[in-house]
Amino acid sequence: MKQIFFIAGTDTDAGKTHIACQLLRAAQQRGLRTLSLKPLAAGAENTVEGLRNSDALMLQQASTLQLPYADINPFCFAEAIAPHIAAEKNGARLSAKEIAQRVHQVLNTVDFDYALIEGAGGWRVPLNETETLADVVKLLNLPVILVVGMKLGCLNHALLTAEAIKTDGVALHSWVANDFGKPMPYWAENIAALEQKIPAPRIAL
């Protein structure tokens, strides 16, 4: 049975891509065929092949199934700013339906066992005047793995995000604590607080 999850973060730079790559490698070690998509990204280098987002490239490299970059990151903007602003500056308008359709096209045409769809920024990043990234997840109907960037303020960010996911009617499958390579002060106490209050199990990587 195919496993597909949406990777959300408590905020920008929570470590979504780092954790997604770890999950992909763990799935590969189990013999699974993996792929990962980052349908929306703002912040990219202009190369001879076009705009390339570093997170999308990392996900591409960590996947066992090598897809064209345009399938992995169909909506890409150069400036590292809020996606809806980046789109407006480029004469475009983001749509939750269009983003979800592009994801479905890949998932419905590629033979895989394990797939991760990585978000951009936090849960309620605006796409336009009325929609947020959460609307894409609702259309995709995917369970969420929440990446918590373990730093001062993470308790509030994590609990608000978990609450928003529940409010939006999306399943919170699990969460991961990203230590950024160096555990924060009172790591155990912060983990204990989150384990008590987040209504989903923690994945230990």
User: What does the pLDDT look like over 24-70, one tens digit per residue?
Assistant: 999 999 999 999 999 999 999 999 999 999 999 999 999 999 999 99
> Each residue of 114-125: pLDDT tens digit?
999 999 999 999
pLDDT at 204: 86
How many H helices and E strands in the chain? 8, 10
* Distance, CA of 51 to CA of 153 (rounded, Å): 33
Rounded to the nearest 10 degrees, the angle between the axes of helix 54-62 and helix 16-29 is 10
pLDDT at 205: 73
* Every domain of the chain and the residues it spans: 3-203
The question of whether 2 is a catalytic residue gets the answer: no
Output the six-digit token pair for 21: 């790559």
This prediction has a pTM of 0.96
Q: Which CATH architecture fits 3-203?
A: 3-Layer(aba) Sandwich (3.40)
> Each residue of 144-159: pLDDT tens digit?
999 999 999 999 999 9
Q: Which among 2, 16, 38, 97 is annotated as catalytic?
A: 38
The edge-to-edge listing of strands for the beta sheet with 202-203 is 34-37, 114-118, 3-9, 144-149, 172-178, 202-203
